[in-house]
Amino acid sequence: MPKHTKYALLFTRIAIFYFLLPWQLGRFIKADQIKGIATKYYKLGWLPDVAFTVFAVLMVVLIVLFLVGFKKRITYGIVLALHTIGTITTIPNLMVGTESLNILFLAAIPTIGAMWMLYLLRDEDTLLSLQGKLG
């Protein structure tokens, strides 16, 4: 594989992390807003507040592990699965030509594509990766 591919994979990993980071930080900064989203789209409003805090901590840990390329099969796979599930729950907001379309939600679709590509090429994604010996 060409050397520049490793740079593209690293950039993709960093970009996905940066895309997910505000959502995860929002779990701490705007906890009520995030709980409202979880209630509206995922029907999880019945969970106690502590569950949202625990999930927030776990998600931040997950995306940091994703960023550093730790256990890529697991972390890349979980990030891809969670993002895909979250996107599927918003399908009404993704339907072009409907009143419920929210163009901001459309960014989730190419992100799934980038996550899928990164998952498939995880063995080649070694630049600045723990499993790539950070080099």
Rg (Cα) of the chain, in Å, rounded?
16
The confidence score (pLDDT) of residue 122 equals 96
pLDDT beyond 70 at 135: no
Average pLDDT over every residue of 92-107? 93
DSSP 3-50: HHHHHHHHHHHHHHHHHHHHHHHHHHHTHHHHHHHHHHHH--TTS-HH
Q: Which residue in the block uniquely carries the two structure tokens 């995306």?
A: 63
Say whether 70 sits in a helix, a strand or coil.
Answer: coil
Does the structure show a pLDDT above 70 at 121? yes
Domain extents in the chain: 3-132
